[in-house]
Amino acid sequence: TLKEKGVVGYSSPSNIALIKYWGKRENQIPANPSISFTLAACMTKTSVEYQKKAQKNDEFSFELFFEGEAKEEFKPKIKTFLKRIEVYLPFLKDYHLVIRTSNTFPHSSGIASSASGMSALALCFMEMERSFSAPITDEFFNRKVSFLARLGSGSACRSIEGPLVQWGETASVKGSSNLFGIKYPYKVHKVFNNFHDTILLVDKGEKQVSSTVGHELMHGHPFASQRFDQAHDHLEKLGLVLADGNLKDFISIVESEALTLHAMMMTSNPYFILMKPNTLSIINEIWKFREESKTHVCFTLDAGANVHVLYPENEKDIVFPFIKEKLISFCQNGQYICDRIGLGAKK
């Protein structure tokens, strides 16, 4: 039974893809499978206060506060999300909702907040449903949250659990689905415990290409089918690496994925270069240092100029000083975020 009023809240993390999702079909169905590290520090904290409307009508009724301030410009995105998930959560129009949300990472840092933001909201709405209905298992809860979050932003479906989440049907991962992310179901080598991701903020400006436009560019892209095949192939190879901890192979898959993502943008119509000169400088410094130090530091990128520097916990004392001395000078205002692999959303 529906309650008169209440409040629910969740914190949900961002994630960084090792195998990239780039290209989709209708209803946020990915063109290829992807897998990501869930992060621990970059989080969105959201609460939803709900109050039954005096009279039910056919409108969504909600207010939105971002970091304490009313944000009209974010409302259309939330409304689109509500419309997409309404059939799965029919009670949403019965309530007036007050959504309060904030990020642990700096506003407009060029760090996408759609994964953490949409997953946090999906968690809140599912928590409402859970409080109205008969008990459900955590597994069902997580699956439905991931399913709903996907409809907000594809990559958001990979933010509910951790440390590794796989989304998109592929033969090599049992139980994988295009409709929701699953916690990676196989044993992962201990070298990936506590893996670090130091995020270098190279360019904090507005994204030149929104991911919506980016996915669209894969329709009719001259290399689309080769790229989608490559993602399946990389995923299968990464499966072996995750099991045996071979960091050399890890590096070659992860860096190739990052550069392929950007190669797809450079070869689409219209074409884009989303890296900045400092992005390339950082990549070259990482390659040079990796050779000299015999460590396993590597990089990945999302659809922008910022660089995610990945390295294992047991190399932190060598790699982090290098990052501080050599790489921070390429960041805008010297800004970076120390993140690491995380376990998913929490209340």
34 scored as a contact of ligand PMV (CB under 6 A): yes
Q: Least distance (Å) from ligand PMV to the CB of residue 98?
A: 26
Q: Least distance (Å) from ligand PMV to the CB of residue 74?
A: 15
Please choose, out of 153-161, 177-185, 271-279, 334-342, the segment that lies near ligand PMV by the rule CB under 6 A.
153-161
* Residue 160 in tokens: 């509910």
Identify whether 76 is preceded by a cis peptide bond (ω within 30 of 0): no
Residue 16's nearest CA partner among 345, 346, 342 is: 342
178 scored as a contact of ligand PMV (CB under 6 A): no
CB 321 within 8 A of CB 295: no
Q: Binder to ligand PMV among 8, 12, 13, 20 (CB under 6 A)?
A: 20
For ligand PMV, the binding residues in 269-328 under the rule CB under 6 A are 302-303
Please choose, out of 4-12, 20-28, 269-277, 338-346, the segment that lies near ligand PMV by the rule CB under 6 A.
20-28
CA torsion, ordered 187, 226, 276, 215, to nearest 10 deg: -90
The residue among 119 and 295 lying less far from ligand PMV, judged by its C-beta, is 119
The residue among 116 and 295 lying less far from ligand PMV, judged by its C-beta, is 116
The residue among 20 and 340 lying less far from ligand PMV, judged by its C-beta, is 20
The DSSP result for 162-193, as a single string, is: -SEEEES--TTSTT--SSSEEE--S---GGGT
Q: Least distance (Å) from ligand PMV to the CB of residue 80?
A: 13
The CA distance from 223 to 298, in Å, is 26
CB 283 within 8 A of CB 250: no
Q: Do β-strands 95-103 and 61-66 pair in parallel, antiparallel, or remain unpaired?
A: parallel
Q: Do β-strands 34-52 and 164-167 pair in parallel, antiparallel, or remain unpaired?
A: antiparallel
The residue among 161 and 302 lying less far from ligand PMV, judged by its C-beta, is 302
Q: Binder to ligand PMV among 44, 101, 153, 170 (CB under 6 A)?
A: 153
The contact set with ligand PMV (CB under 6 A) reads 17, 20-22, 34, 114, 153-155, 211, 261, 302-303
